[in-house]
């Protein structure tokens, strides 16, 4: 087996999945007013993202969410990086997940004009490379107020 993991942060890490996560996060913000996912597990076969929320989503809402994410993916948006000062990033973006030692120059990933988020991960260069996603399931834990969404690349 060829060792091609040098540039991959994690063995199962997947650029398509991770870029889809950016789009899913922004869609959750726009449709349901959540923040970005508080925790996530991005893997090649199946990924999950957890959002702070106050209820479960209905099957209809899940299909609307999936449809919106796929509509954005289908727009063949360029995924670009830019750099801003930490101060500017703190004013414009959610930097709660940035490590303290991320430095004074922060990398921001933009998915077209749809989503802008500081991120150190690896991404596709155009959303057309993702193809689309399918939401497999979701559930809501009313003790932790966490809504979990599981998806795969479709
Ligand atoms: Zn990213």
CATH of domain 15-153: 3.30.980.10
Structure confidence at residue 100 (pLDDT) = 77
59 Cα: distance to centroid of ligand 1 (angstroms) = 27
CA of 121 to the centre of ligand 1 (A): 5
CB 116 within 8 Å of CB 89 = no
Per-residue pLDDT of the chain (154 residues; tens, 9 = 90+): 444 444 445 556 799 999 999 999 999 999 999 999 999 999 889 999 999 999 999 999 999 999 999 999 999 999 999 999 988 988 988 887 777 777 889 999 999 999 999 998 999 999 999 999 999 999 999 999 999 999 999 9
What is the CA(30)–ligand 1 centre distance, in A? 18
> Exposure of 136 by Cβ count < 10 A (0-12 exposed, 13-18 middle, 19+ buried)?
middle
Q: What is the pTM of this model?
A: 0.89
At 93 the pLDDT is 87
Q: Which residues contact 84 (CB under 8 A, 6 or more apart)?
A: 92, 105, 106, 108
Cβ count near 68 (within 10 Å):
17
Instruction: Give the Å distance between the CA of 31 and the centre of ligand 1.
Output: 20
Q: Say how many Å lie between the CA of residue 109 and the centre of ligand 1.
A: 7
- For residue 16, the CA-to-ligand 1 centroid distance in Å is 10
For residue 90, the CA-to-ligand 1 centroid distance in Å is 17
Distance (Å) from CA 1 to ligand 1 centroid: 27
**Domains of the chain, residue spans:** 15-153
Rounded CA separation 138/91 (Å): 32
pLDDT reported for residue 11? 55
- CA 50, 51, 52: angle at the middle one, nearest 5? 130
Q: State in Å: Cα 81 to ligand 1 middle.
A: 10
pLDDT at 108: 95
Burial per residue of 12-49, b for 16 or more beta-carbon CB atoms within 10 angstroms, e otherwise: ebbbbbbbbbbbbbbbbeeeeebebbeebebeeeebbb
């Amino acid at each position: 087996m060829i060792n091609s993991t040098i540039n991959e942060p994690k063995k199962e890490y997947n650029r398509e999945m991770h870029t889809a996560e950016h789009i899913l996060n922004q869609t959750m913000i726009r449709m349901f007013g959540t923040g970005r996912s508080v925790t996530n597990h991005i893997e090649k076969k199946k990924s999950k993202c957890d959002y702070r929320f106050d209820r479960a989503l209905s099957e209809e809402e899940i299909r609307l969410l999936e449809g919106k994410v796929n509509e954005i993916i289908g727009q063949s948006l360029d995924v670009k990086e830019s750099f801003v000062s930490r101060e500017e990033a703190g004013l414009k973006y959610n930097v709660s997940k940035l490590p303290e030692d991320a430095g004074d120059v922060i990398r921001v990933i933009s998915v077209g004009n749809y989503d802008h988020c500081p991120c150190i991960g690896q991404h596709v260069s155009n959303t057309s490379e993702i193809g689309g996603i399918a939401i497999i399931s979701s559930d809501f834990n009313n003790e932790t107020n966490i809504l979990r969404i599981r998806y795969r690349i479709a």
